[in-house]
Amino acid sequence: MCAAPSTSEPFSLAQRAAEELVRRTGAAPEVAVVLGSGWGAAAQAFGAAEVEFPMAEIPGFVGPTVPGHHGTLRSLQVGGRQVLVLLGRVHLYEGRSPAQVVHAVRMAVIAGARVVVLTNAAGGLDPGFRPGQVVLVRDHVNLTGASPLSGEEPPAAYRSRFVDLTDLYASRQREVARSIDGSLAEGVYAALRGPHYETPAEVAMLRLAGADLVGMSTALEAIAVRHLGASVLGISLVTNLAAGVSPAPLDHAEVLAVGAAAVPGLGRLLADLLPRL
């Protein structure tokens, strides 16, 4: 397994990873998509991979440890656009650093991607949401206590760490998604560290804070992508109603089961969407 990124060199390591990615795939990505828990099989709707290999073969990657995250990179053409599919991600709750959590998306943007689609499995805080529903992320509340821009100032070739996050989840990209499916709802995603699910009191607090969705990913990746100047489209799959909203106990197996049931629709949506971003 390749070495993990240290706090002193995440950008140089992402640059090395990007160079190796382009060498291995023979093409710079135009769009990158991160497929979260339960979303992996949706990639079948994109068509056959031109090149596919384990993430761990690229500098700086560590493998996911969570069921539903495969740790694979796939490069292919979708509707004439060169797309990089990241099947799986790593999380803070796995003991990973913020630099490790965002390494994949940093690599993708440095390699050429101008739009990054971040998908996730999320708990629904809005009682009007239902398991299996797809929701566009309008904004987020980062409650992980972490940032990918903490630590040393980024190298001179990159923007300052003080990044404006207005319209972080680009309104233009959300409009493109709604032009494909006008029924798509929007919501605010609350990112927590996990891995435990939230208590009913925490869910009540999040609802008061204006959150509609809750999960354990996405926010740090979105910040890192925006810092590098690319656009972000966030898409959540509501896999369960959150504690205090749901009448039943929460279970990760339920997350994967709902994701599996929603795969055909998710795949079709993304296959239509990616060439238009």
Of 19-23, 150-154, 170-174, minimum mean pLDDT range = 150-154
Q: How confident is the model at residue 39 (pLDDT cuts 50, 70, 90)?
A: confident
Amino acid at 180: I
Provide the mean pLDDT of the chain.
90
pTM: predicted TM-score of the whole model, two decimal places = 0.92
Query: pLDDT tens digits for 172-185?
Result: 999 999 999 999 99
Top-ranked range on mean pLDDT: pick from 30-39, 147-156, 223-232, 241-250? 223-232
Helix, strand and coil content of the chain, in percent to the nearest 5, comes to 35, 25, 40
Average pLDDT over residues 11-35: 96
Distance CA 10, CA 148 (A): 9
Average pLDDT over residues 61-65: 71
Q: How confident is the model at residue 65 (pLDDT cuts 50, 70, 90)?
A: low
Q: Inform me whether the pLDDT recorded for 118 exceeds 90.
A: yes
> What kind and span of H or E run contains 124?
strand 115-124
Amino acid at 24: R
Length of the chain: 277
Amino acid at 82: Q
Q: How confident is the model at residue 1 (pLDDT cuts 50, 70, 90)?
A: very low
Which positions are annotated as active-site residues? 37, 69, 91, 93-94, 121, 216-217, 240, 252
Domains of the chain are 10-276 (3.40.50.1580)
Percentage of the chain beyond pLDDT 70 is 89
Distance CA 274, CA 277 (A): 6
Q: Which pLDDT belongs to residue 227? A: 97
Q: Inform me whether the pLDDT recorded for 88 exceeds 90.
A: no
Q: How confident is the model at residue 106 (pLDDT cuts 50, 70, 90)?
A: very high
Distance CA 112, CA 123 (A): 32
Q: Inform me whether the pLDDT recorded for 95 exceeds 80.
A: yes
Distance CA 132, CA 124 (A): 10
